[in-house]
């Protein structure tokens, strides 16, 4: 289709939605997705990503009769974060590692499963579990990014692979966790990895052939160039000559995208810097464009049209990869085409999506790093309280941000945005001297030192801050919270809102609930057991409205920002796809209670110095997944338990990757034999300490 006819179609789509869906055929289905409320054709339902459904069979009066009709085993104990798609009665969803399944909605029968066969060792290159947030649909094909960074096209009918392409330099620690979007026959995908030291970008691939059409790097590769684009030549001036270019700069595009067909602009959210601290990354540098920015690009060639940087010179992992939602709002007496985002940094932004002009920015949670955003300059005014370049600082929001990848939703009926927020502070502490290490975490944070403050019960100031999650109903016009529901866990699910005046959300403590969208009254709730992070969808088949959500704990939540309050998971973290409808009476799947009893550990080994050294190494390389002090607070093995079985083969596992198929990679590139012996000595010491406590409490 020519650009001219595309624009004409775009301009009239509001008037002729149902006709267009048929007349234009498959190519226009996504543009006219609004006209197919029975389906959920793209990640945010429509290109504007409002996650609002016009369906009303399930409403405030009927929702009390909502019940489970089927549950499907997702064959994983790892985190589930996807938004399923529904195309004409078939539900497509990704699971862990970028695996994809298709189900018949009426029966819950699985039609096919596609396994991208990701090598298990790739797990160590991800900050936050082996999750995947969803697939894209286009002309009978399903597109998914595998955790090891291959973009894959699958036949939607058969589940057979059509093509796959590698999207990265495989010597760097990239991962794909986000959902692709398809715009004008191009599959757009980015990746993550800024905690490990990578250079961020996103790319467009031809949906038919898999051929790469363009790539947009979000940060320069050097001061001098040559730069890949004019946008990067401009950005280079905002990085100092002393920039640690070997660490990649960061700026990964790991989640949010939306598209306005009328303006023909693709909006993309950019992540944090690598390493985190601005003075470590780019000493004496400037804003470090385009970190923590919202970019508007031309989807035809990837040319930058405008940008807005939320956190200039980001130092706190304040990504702007959070959900980008498009709406038309009446502001100051006239209708504005806006874009809304609640990025990690704690401010809710409204921009004119045509020009990038900042219209408002207001704190949706307490944020100590900046007092306000100056609407004239568009820049945050930093307080200075959060500058950790010379020593530790406690900063709010913490690194998961005030809001993370869990999508918000917008209900045109209530005029409210439903944001899954969280509250907490983090101790930011710099390393003495930053050295980039390939394959390791390269945040520039003194992780052993930070863990030692927890372990020693040291008062750092973090303890003064509350830790909780909150579903917020935010009025973008009045610029304030209208109602909120507080949750004990920080990480909860994405939100869905409907014309039935409802908001749906799963919770970190395993509930799935519906609230009255205008006032927040809870109208319905069920309990699954394991935490829910996924984003619910609603759709209809044969006149029956359904709601589906993925349930299974993990993702960044496995890092345990609220672990102190909750301790460990009650059940083995088997993940399920849950589907509900009015009158549903199915039983929830049984979950197996997890046994935390410690077997008798091997006798203590190693000198005091070795154990101390092992503790630091453990907290540099192992604690992210296996928990501080070897106490598992997520679904992964508790090493105080497993050391009894694995003590003799410990070096084979940790150095040589004996269990890499399970997701436990070898670390021979970072650790030596004596290092591993020291880590083993530390774990055995911890196992003995806690075993003694367990046995004495039994007596
Ligand atoms: Ca990050």
pLDDT tens for each residue of 586-626: 999 999 999 999 999 999 999 999 999 999 999 999 998 99
Query: Are residue 613 and residue 511 in the same domain, yes or no?
Result: no
Domain of residue 428 covers 83-529
**Quick check: 6 pLDDT over 80?**
no
On whether the CB atoms of residues 387 and 315 are closer than 8 A, the answer is yes
| DSSP-derived pairing of the beta strands 325-331 and 537-541 | unpaired
Same domain, 286 and 149: yes
The verdict on 500 and 627 lying in the same domain is no
For residues 520 and 614, membership in a common domain is answered with no
Tell me the pLDDT tens digit for each residue of 317-326.
Answer: 999 999 999 9
pLDDT, tens only, 17-43: 443 444 445 668 999 999 999 999 999
Residue 641 scores a pLDDT above 60: yes
Side-chain-facing half-sphere of 472: CA atoms under 13 Å: 24
Query: Nearest 5°: CA angle at 150, between 145 and 156?
Result: 55
> How many A from CA of 455 to the centre of ligand 1?
24
Place of tokens 């799935």: 512
Active site residue 317: yes
pLDDT at position 10, please?
A: 38
Task: Quickly list H helices, 562-657.
Answer: 563-566, 608-621, 623-626, 639-646, 650-654
Distance from Cα 196 to the centre of ligand 1, integer Å: 9
Expressed in angstroms and rounded, the spacing between residue 399 Cα and the centre of ligand 1 is: 7
Residue-level pLDDT at 3 = 40
The predicted structure's pLDDT at residue 563 = 65
Give the distance (Å) from ligand 1 centre to CA of residue 627.
19
- Name the catalytic one among 317, 362, 399, 562: 317
What is the distance in A from the centroid of ligand 1 to the CA of 565? 24
Query: pLDDT averaged over the chain?
Result: 94
Chain-centroid distance, C-alpha 575:
17
pLDDT of residue 143: 98
| Alpha carbon distance 226, 266 (integer Å) | 26
CA of 243 to the centre of ligand 1 (A): 19
Task: Report pLDDT for 26.
Answer: 66
Give me 433's structure tokens: 């001297």
Residue 48 located in a structural domain: no
Across the range 550-570, mean pLDDT stands at: 82
Among 27-36, 167-176, 446-455, 632-641, the range with the most confident prediction by mean pLDDT is 167-176
Residue 386 alpha carbon to ligand 1 centre in Å: 17
- Specify whether 514 is located in the same domain as 420: yes
- 218-251 pLDDT per residue, tens: 999 999 989 999 999 999 999 999 999 999 999 9
In the DSSP assignment, the letter for residue 587 is: P
Question: In terms of domains, do 140 and 267 share one?
Answer: yes
Can you tell me the mean pLDDT for 349-353? Answer: 98
Residue 334 Cα to ligand 1 midpoint, Å, equals: 37
Last residue of a domain, one of 484, 508, 529: 529
Q: Could you tell me if 362 and 343 are in contact, meaning their C-beta atoms sit under 8 angstroms apart?
A: no
Instruction: State in Å: Cα 322 to ligand 1 middle.
Output: 11
What single-letter DSSP state applies at residue 696? H
Does residue 554 sit within a domain?
no
Copy the structure tokens of residue 609.
Answer: 């110095």
Q: Is pLDDT of 628 > 90? A: no
Position 568 in a domain: no
Across 662-684, average pLDDT = 96
Distance 305 CA to ligand 1 centre (A): 25
Instruction: Report CA-CA distances (Å) from 685 to 606, 617, 664, 669, 671.
Output: 9, 14, 22, 25, 20
Which whole-number Å values give the CA distances from 583 to 67, 96, 194, in the listed order? 6, 31, 46
Asked, for residue 576, whether it belongs to a domain, the answer is no
pLDDT at 690 over 70: yes
Domain limit, last residue, from 529, 547, 582 = 529
Task: Give me the number of domains the chain comprises.
Answer: 2
Same domain, 520 and 636: no
Which ranges of 524-672 would DSSP assign to H, the alpha helix?
563-566, 608-621, 623-626, 639-646, 650-654
Q: What is the pLDDT of residue 19?
A: 39
Residue 457: pLDDT over 90: no
**How remote is the CA of residue 293 from the centroid of ligand 1, in Å?**
13
Over residues 109-132, the mean pLDDT reads 97
Average pLDDT rounded to a whole number, residues 195-202: 97
Distance (Å) from CA 318 to ligand 1 centroid: 7
Cα–Cα distance, 23 to 9 (Å, whole number): 11
Task: Note whether residue 503 is domain-resident.
Answer: yes
pLDDT tens digits, 271-302: 999 999 999 999 998 999 999 999 999 999 99
CATH for 182: 2.140.10.10
- Higher confidence at residue 214 or residue 633? 214
- Using a CB cutoff of 5 Å, list residues around ligand 1, an ion: 272, 317
Return the minimum-mean-pLDDT range out of 222-236, 253-267, 555-569, 681-695. Answer: 555-569
CA dihedral (480, 483, 484, 485) in degrees, to 10, reads: -170
pLDDT digits (tens, 9 = 90+) for 418-455: 999 999 999 999 999 999 999 999 999 999 898 888 77
The yes-or-no verdict on residue 384 having pLDDT over 60 is yes
Percent of the chain residues past pLDDT 90, beyond the cut:
89
* Inside any domain, residue 680: yes
- 51, part of any domain: no
Domain limit, last residue, from 508, 529, 550 = 529
- 487 class by beta-carbon count within 10 Å (0-12 exposed, 13-18 middle, 19+ buried): buried
The CB density around residue 541, as the number of other CB atoms within 10 Å, is: 18
Asked if residue 517 and residue 613 are part of one domain, the reply reads no
CB 97 within 8 A of CB 106: no
Among 60-64, 511-515, 528-532, the range scoring the smallest mean pLDDT is: 528-532
> Does residue 697 have a cis bond before it (omega within 30 degrees)?
no
Does 418 share its domain with 331?
A: yes
pLDDT tier at 675, thresholds 50, 70, 90: very high
CATH value at residue 643: 1.10.760.10
Distance between CA atoms of 675 and 91, rounded to whole angstroms?
48
Ligand 1 centre and the CA of 272: distance in Å? 6
Q: How many Å lie between the centroid of ligand 1 and the Cα of residue 638?
A: 25
Residue 582 lies in a domain: no
């Amino acid at each position: 289709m020519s650009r001219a006819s595309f624009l004409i179609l775009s301009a009239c789509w509001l008037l002729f939605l149902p006709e267009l869906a048929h007349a234009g055929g498959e190519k226009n289905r996504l543009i006219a997705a609004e006209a197919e409320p029975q389906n959920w054709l793209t990640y945010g339902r429509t290109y504007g990503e409002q996650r609002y459904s016009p369906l009303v069979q399930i409403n405030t009066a009927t929702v009390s009769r909502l019940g489970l009709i089927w549950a499907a085993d997702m064959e994983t104990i790892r985190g589930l974060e996807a938004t399923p798609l529904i195309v004409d009665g078939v539900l497509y969803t990704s699971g862990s590692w970028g695996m994809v399944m298709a189900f018949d909605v009426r029966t819950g029968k699985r039609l096919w499963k596609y396994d991208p066969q990701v090598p298990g060792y790739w797990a160590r290159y991800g900050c936050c579990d082996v999750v995947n947030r969803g697939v894209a649909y286009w002309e009978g094909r399903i597109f998914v990014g595998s955790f090891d960074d291959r973009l894959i096209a699958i036949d939607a009918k058969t589940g057979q692979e059509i093509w796959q392409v590698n999207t990265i330099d495989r010597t760097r620690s990239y991962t794909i966790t986000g959902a692709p979007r398809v715009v004008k026959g191009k599959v757009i995908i980015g990746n993550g990895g800024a905690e490990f030291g990578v250079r961020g970008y996103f790319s467009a691939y031809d949906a038919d052939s898999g051929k790469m059409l363009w790539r947009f790097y979000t940060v320069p590769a050097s001061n001098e160039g040559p730069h890949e684009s004019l946008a990067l030549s401009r950005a280079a001036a905002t990085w100092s000559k002393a920039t640690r270019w070997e660490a990649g700069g960061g700026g990964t595009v790991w989640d949010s995208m939306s598209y306005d067909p009328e303006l023909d602009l693709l909006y993309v959210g950019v992540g944090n810097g690598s390493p985190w601290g601005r003075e470590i990354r780019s000493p004496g540098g400037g804003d470090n464009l385009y970190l923590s920015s919202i970019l508007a690009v031309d989807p035809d060639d990837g040319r930058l049209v405008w940008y807005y940087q939320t956190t200039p010179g980001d130092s706190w992992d304040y990504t702007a990869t959070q959900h980008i939602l498009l709406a038309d709002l009446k502001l100051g007496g006239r209708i504005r085409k806006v874009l809304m985002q609640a990025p990690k940094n704690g401010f809710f932004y409204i921009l004119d999506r045509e020009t990038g002009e900042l219209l408002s920015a207001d704190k949706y949670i307490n944020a100590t790093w900046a007092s306000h955003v100056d609407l004239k300059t568009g820049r945050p005014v930093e307080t200075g309280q959060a500058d950790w370049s010379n020593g530790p600082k406690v900063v709010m929001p913490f690194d998961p941000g005030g809001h993370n990848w869990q999508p918000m939703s917008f209900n045109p009926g209530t005029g409210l945005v439903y944001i899954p927020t969280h509250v907490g502070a983090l101790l930011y502490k710099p390393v003495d001297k930053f050295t980039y290490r390939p394959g390791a975490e390269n945040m520039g944070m003194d992780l052993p030192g930070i863990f030692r403050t927890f372990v020693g019960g040291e008062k750092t100031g973090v303890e003064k801050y509350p830790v909780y999650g909150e579903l917020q109903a935010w009025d973008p016009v009045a610029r304030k919270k209208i109602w909120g529901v507080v949750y004990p866990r920080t990480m909860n699910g994405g939100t869905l809102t409907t014309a039935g005046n409802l908001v749906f959300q799963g919770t970190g403590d395993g509930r799935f609930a519906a609230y009255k969208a205008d006032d927040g009254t809870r109208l319905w709730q069920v309990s699954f057991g394991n935490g829910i992070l996924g984003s619910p969808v609603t759709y209809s088949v044969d006149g029956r409205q359904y709601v589906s959500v993925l349930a299974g704990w993990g993702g960044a939540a496995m890092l345990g920002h609220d672990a102190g309050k909750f301790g460990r998971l009650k059940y083995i973290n088997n993940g399920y796809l849950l589907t509900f409808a009015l009158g549903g009476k199915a039983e929830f799947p049984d979950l197996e209670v997890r046994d935390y009893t410690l077997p008798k550990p091997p006798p203590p080994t190693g000198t005091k110095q070795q154990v101390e050294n092992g503790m630091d190494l453990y907290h540099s390389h192992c604690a992210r997944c296996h928990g501080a002090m070897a106490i598992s607070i997520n679904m992964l093995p508790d090493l105080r338990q497993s050391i009894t079985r694995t003590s003799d083969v410990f070096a084979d596992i940790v150095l040589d990757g004996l269990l890499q198929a399970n997701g436990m990679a070898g670390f021979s590139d970072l650790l030596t034999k004596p290092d591993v012996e020291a880590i083993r000595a530390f774990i055995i010491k911890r196992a003995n300490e806690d075993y003694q406590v367990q046995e004495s409490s039994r007596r």
